[in-house]
Amino acid sequence: MTNRLFDLTGRTALVTGSSRGLGRAMAEGLAAAGARILVNGTDAERVATAVKEMRQAGHEADAAPFDVTSEDAVVKAFAGFDAAGIAVDILVNNAGIQFRKPMVELATADWQRVIDTNLTSAFVIGREAAKRMIARGHGKVINIGSLTSALARATVAPYTVAKGGIKMLTQAMAAEWAEHGIQANAIGPGYMLTDMNQALIENPAFDAWVKGRTPSKRWGKPEELIGAAVFLAAPASDYVNGQIIYVDGGMLAVL
């Protein structure tokens, strides 16, 4: 018997950027806890493959391919959910990109692209989800931050600013939506073994720095975010709001 506090049965979760990486891992974890997953990504073929694989694993999954940076696409996607009678009970704002370059060499267009994808999309999708969650009197919003929600690293300024914004957007969501039965929280992953970090993982000096700087002396695995995601998606967190849980092997806790 699953513990009701962590049971997502009957709930639908939209996880942006969930055809691969951290989003896919969290989607599978939420599905294993009973949720139906709306798998999102910009690549419809990759989304369809992820849905097929999740269904083969016995999970409830459907495709929701749309570009999170397009307000028109987001509004249309939620109109489609409404028309299909789909209620998004849990929103995981995970979609994000990285772009590494010193600020003095950074084109404004590249800055804007990272901000649009990693921060503005979380606001737009959060707004569309919250309109409907408020009407239903309940909802869970989980924004995916980063270690850079708290500390800066050179050459990743737009990502750092966006993820710092994610932390404060989460608190702003709590300020406005908590009274409507919505819990808005964030997860701050540490250095995780993902495609986005492949260049860093393969860099011996950076790999050594991560392992030396992290008390756990290793990179994190995407599936290690599942516990925090299920907790923040489940009744167990009904009195938790505006918080960020760092899943970082202890990196932020020590000098």
Catalytic residue numbers read 159
Binding mask 101-140 for ligand GCO (x = CB under 6 A): ----------------------------------------
CB 70 within 8 A of CB 124: no
CB 147 within 8 A of CB 192: no
Among 49, 70, 98, 120, binds ligand GCO (CB under 6 A): 98
User: Count H helices, E strands: the chain?
Assistant: 9, 7
Among 19, 117, 121, 146, binds ligand GCO (CB under 6 A): 146
Beta-carbon count within 10 A of 112 CB? 13
d(Cα 14, Cα 39) in Å, to the nearest integer?
Answer: 7
Binding mask 174-213 for ligand GCO (x = CB under 6 A): ---------------xxx----xx--x-------------
Place of tokens 């749309």: 66
Decide if residue 97 touches ligand GCO (CB under 6 A): no
Decide if residue 156 touches ligand GCO (CB under 6 A): yes
Decide if residue 165 touches ligand GCO (CB under 6 A): no
d(Cα 127, Cα 186) in Å, to the nearest integer?
Answer: 16
Closest to ligand GCO by CB, 70 or 197: 197
Place of tokens 């991560």: 210
Amino acid code (one letter) for 22 = L
Residues that bind ligand GCO (CB under 6 A): 98, 100, 146-148, 153, 156, 159, 189-191, 196-197, 200
